[in-house]
Each structure stands twice: as structure tokens, then as C-alpha cells.
Amino acid sequence: MKAYIRTYGCQMNERDSENIAANFVEKGWTITSVEDEADVIVINTCSVREQAEQKAIGKLSHLLSYRKWQKRNLPIIGVTGCMAQNRGEEIAKALPRIDFIAGPRKTHLVANIAIDIHNKVLQETFSPRERLRKPYIDISDDNTSHLRINKHYNLSKTSNVCAFVSIMQGCQMNCSYCIVPKVRGVMRSRPTDDVVCEVKQLVENGAKEVMLLGQVANAFGREIPAQNGVSEFVRLLQKLNDIDGLERIRFTSPHPSYFRDDLINAYGSLEKLCEYVHLPLQSGSDRILKAMNRPYKSADFLKIVDKLRARSSDMSISTDIIVGYPDETEEDFLQTVEAFKQANFDMAFIFKYSERKGTKSAELNDNISDAIKEDRNQRLLAVLEKQSMDFHNAMIGKTYQVLVESNAKRGENMFMGRTRNHRKCIFKADESYIGKMVNVKVNSATVTALDCEIV
Ligand code: SAH
Ligand code: SF4
Ligand code: F3S
């Protein structure tokens, strides 16, 4: 039997899909990348912006059209993830032919639910008509779900070299625009030893690099008191740094409020912690930050950036920005541009504000026109492009350590790997290099990648 899993949204969702896949495999199923041959289709959804929801709804409507499945029975179709949590009942009404709907805290149950329905259909315990009347729904709260997320199955098809590890779930920062706290529940950290154990296992299976994941990754273990000013998160990094065979540690996303000196000082002292930080700023205007319920000022953020850059000249810093938040003036936007330049971000995700029902900002008037949002988006993208290009140009002629990840899909012998500061390098190599550390010299650069040669 075969399952097909399609993922929308963030890396945490990708990680959840790996967990779902592992549970199918454990029960003797295989994972297919061909939707048309699947017995079960899982659509793992995102709710963070309107567009993400639209994409998943479009996909589901297409999947449910009988015409698509003319030659065979409709496969079992399930919706999981954040939109399942946020709009589960609504989806069930609008698309009753979906078989099941399960929230992001039910990830560990998805394979069971799907296989159970599949078996009942096979054994004709329920008739096709019965099956198509109303989906099975499980979107109740479960704040112990973070204790059952340690199974891995590589869905990316490239290699096992870099692994995602979820270290905490949920969020209660309650940024006024954000749906995540509503759909993912309160912050729950996994026990430190569970994480260490999982990483050791991954390293035994070939992983060289781990990306620790959490909505507020650096708030990990915040209920455990700091020891000599060192937080539980930094203690986790120290323990991971001691694992033989592990070469690199990254994490995403940290929140500026938890980015204290113990964490800043870990850069340069923990040799496996890579010089790359994705630190969401959201806005450079203190007035907008306050409205967003982001508890820091632009100057506080820039201070963290300065301290990080002082730890290493290779430090790469990326960010998330929202343009067109309610009442954002041209002046507010220019302050964002200014902070963006001062921080000298070399990578960024820039989003147009999208009103989400059930959030605090949805009570405000979404009064910035789409034309203005688009204009601000484009202007900031232009700044980003220049900064990325400058960052890359400064790397030309120099030599960097790269972990070879996979075939670059750009001609037969071209492979892809990243520098410690997360720059994508393309170079000539062969399969035997995958998982190895090499030194490469940068010959030329585009905004998105570096053309290199192994030296
Ligand atoms: N927990 C992470 C990421 C959350 S979602 C963090 O706090 O950094 C990823 C990004 O989506 C956010 O950083 C934010 O920039 C953006 N985002 C969240 N809600 C949004 C909304 N309603 N409209 C537009 N962008 C949004
Ligand atoms: Fe959303 Fe803010 Fe939590 Fe990030 S920190 S997930 S933006 S509420
Ligand atoms: Fe989207 Fe949920 Fe991630 S809303 S961004 S998939 S936490």
C-alpha cells in the first residue's frame, strides 16, 4: 500500500510530514512521490497567510474531482496541519468527501487513522456512500504531542546528511497578526535528553548537520532556570556540540526577546554552531512593532545584530519582514528599510500582511491597499538583492568549508553543498562526496548561489 504526502508551510510542517511518513513505513506501507498511484493522500496544510490556505484548498478541490480518478476508486484523502486545525469544521462541510481531518498536534496518529479507514473500505465495513458523507475529525487539544515526534523518514529524496529535529512545539508569543499560537497550542519543549538521543541516532544513520526547529527555538527549556547565566537552550547546544560525528548545528527560528548574551557568546565558542542566524525583525518601526506585540525596539534588535557580527566576520543574518501591517505609514516603512540596511541582511522573506481571522490584528482595519503592499514589497526586495549580491561578491576568490549535500540537478557532475554561513555552493564532484566536508574556492556568484571548485 502506498501513501503520498504533500506539504505546505514551514519546516516544522515538513518535519511533521517526515514523522507521518515514518509511521506509515513502520506499518509496512511505502511512500510514493506519484500522487496517482497512492492509496492514501495526506495534504499537510499551512494557515499563516491567505495564499497558503488558497493553495491547499485548490489542491483538495482538484483531488476530489471524480474526473481525476475515473479509472479507479477515490483514494483515502486526509487533511492535516495548521489549516486542518484552524478551519477543520468548515472544510468538512465544504468538502465532505474528504476522509479525515487531523490537527498538527495529532501528527503521530495520522497514519493510524488513514490506515484504519483504508482497511474499513477494503473490508467494506462501510459503504462508499457512508464513507463520503462526513470526514473523521480529530482537532482536539493535545499538549503532550511534543513527546511523540521522534520518528524520521527522509522525504526530500536527496540525502540524509542534513536532518531536521523538532525541539519544541507551539508558541505563546501572541504576535498580533499571527495564527500559529491558535493552531499549534502553547509552548512545549521536549526533554533535553530526548533531543540529544535523537540527534545521536541521526548521526549514526549518516547525518552530519542538524537544524533544530521550533516556533521560538531559543525559548527551548525556558521553564528550567539558567545556570550561571546559561540558558537550557545553550546547554542543549553544548551537549549537541559534544556529539562525535556531528559536524554542524543550526536552529530556526529564534525570537529577539530570547537572544541573550549566553547565546551570542556560543557563536565562536561552540565550534559546531554555524555562523548563520535567521532572526525575524518583522518591522523597523517601533510603533508598528508595538502594535504587532513584538516586545523589542528596532535599536534592541540592531544591538543583537552588532554583537553577532562581532563574534564572526562570516556571520550571515537573514530575517522575516511584514509590509503593509494596518496603519503602516510611508514613514514606518522607511524605518523598516533603514533597519534592513543597518542590519545588512543578506537573505530575507518579505511578506505582505495577510489578515487572519481569530488574531488580534483582525480587529483592525486592513487598510493598506494591495498596490501599496506590493510596492513596499518590491522596494524592500530591491534592497535585499543588492545586499545579497554584495555579500556574495565579497566571497569571490576565498575558500570555504562546504558540506556536500546532494546532486545539484544542473548537469551530471554538479553537486550542491552549503558553507557554514548557509550559502549555496555549486561545484563539480561525484556521488562519493555526498556527506563529506570539502574546501571550495568561490569563482563567481549570483544572488542565489556561488559557483565554486573543490580545492
Ligand atoms: N515563529 C517564527 C515564524 C512564524 S511564521 C517566528 O516568529 O519567527 C513565519 C513568518 O510569517 C513570520 O515571521 C512572519 O513574518 C510571517 N507572518 C506570520 N503571520 C503573518 C500574516 N498574518 N501576514 C503576513 N505574514 C505573516
Ligand atoms: Fe507567530 Fe510570533 Fe509565535 Fe512567531 S513568535 S509563531 S510570529 S506568534
Ligand atoms: Fe504555516 Fe503552521 Fe508553519 S501555519 S508556517 S505550517 S506552523
Convert the pLDDT of each residue in 401-426 to its tens digit.
999 999 987 777 999 999 999 999 99
Atom of ligand 1 nearest to the CA of 177: 22
* pLDDT surpasses 70 at 70: no
127 pLDDT band, cuts 50/70/90, is: low
User: Containing H/E element for 301?
Assistant: helix 298-311
CA 413 to centroid of ligand 2, rounded, Å: 41
Q: Is the CB of 320 under 6 A from ligand 1?
A: yes
CA 49 to centroid of ligand 2, rounded, Å: 13
- Look at 53-67, 199-213, 304-318 and tell me which has the smallest mean pLDDT: 53-67
Distance CA 133, CA 438 (A): 57
Q: What is the per-residue pLDDT for 129?
A: 61
203 in Cβ contact with 50 (< 8 Å): no
User: Is 334 exposed, middle or buried, given 0-12, 13-18 or 19+ CB atoms closer than 10 A?
Assistant: middle
CA 445 to centroid of ligand 1, rounded, Å: 29
The greatest distance separating any two alpha carbons of the chain, rounded to the nearest whole angstrom, comes to: 67
* pLDDT surpasses 70 at 93: yes
Q: Which is nearest to 230 in space by CA: 197, 265, 201, 202? A: 265
97 pLDDT band, cuts 50/70/90, is: confident
C-alpha distance from residue 68 to each of 65, 156, 343 (Å): 6, 26, 50
What end-to-end distance do the CA atoms of the chain give, in Å? 47
Q: Which is nearest to 284 in space by CA: 331, 352, 317, 217? A: 331
Distance CA 254, CA 236 (A): 14
% pLDDT > 70, the chain: 97
Instruction: Give the tens place of pLDDT for each residue, 25-69.
Output: 999 999 999 998 999 999 999 999 999 999 999 999 999 886 677
Q: Which ligand is nearest to the CA of 282?
A: 1
Q: For strand 76-81 and strand 40-45, is the pairing parallel, antiparallel, or unpaired? A: parallel
Q: Which ligand is nearest to the CA of 175?
A: 2
Q: Is the CB of 177 under 6 A from ligand 1?
A: yes
CA angle 98, 101, 103 (to 5 degrees): 160
- Grid cell listed for 138: 480529530
> What is the mean predicted confidence (pLDDT) over 256-272?
97
| DSSP structure string for 66-84 | GGGGTTSPPPEEEEEEHHH
Residues forming a β-bridge with 3: 31, 40
Residues forming a β-bridge with 298: none
Atom of ligand 3 nearest to the CA of 82: 2
Probe target for ligand 2 pocket from 174, 282, 349, with the most ligand atoms within 8 Å of CB: 174
Distance CA 22, CA 28 (A): 10
Whose Cα sits closest to atom 3 in ligand 3? 10
Distance CA 40, CA 144 (A): 26
Q: What is the per-residue pLDDT for 436?
A: 96
DSSP secondary structure letter of residue 255: -
- Grid cell listed for 82: 495548521
Spell out which residues line ligand 3, taking CB within 6 angstroms.
9-10, 12-13, 46-48, 81-82, 179-180, 183-184
Whose Cα sits closest to atom 4 in ligand 2? 215
Q: Which residue type sits at 260?
A: R
The three-state secondary structure class of 394 is coil
Atom of ligand 1 nearest to the CA of 216: 1
Instruction: Give the tens place of pLDDT for each residue, 145-183.
Output: 888 888 999 887 677 899 999 999 999 999 999 999 999
83 in Cβ contact with 56 (< 8 Å): yes
- Look at 117-121, 354-358, 438-442 and tell me which has the smallest mean pLDDT: 117-121
Distance CA 335, CA 378 (A): 16
CA 48 to centroid of ligand 3, rounded, Å: 6
CA 170 to centroid of ligand 2, rounded, Å: 9
Distance CA 397, CA 451 (A): 11
Q: Is the CB of 281 under 6 A from ligand 1?
A: no
User: Containing H/E element for 192?
Assistant: helix 192-204
Q: Which residue type sits at 159?
A: S
Distance CA 328, CA 188 (A): 33
Q: What is the per-residue pLDDT for 150?
A: 85
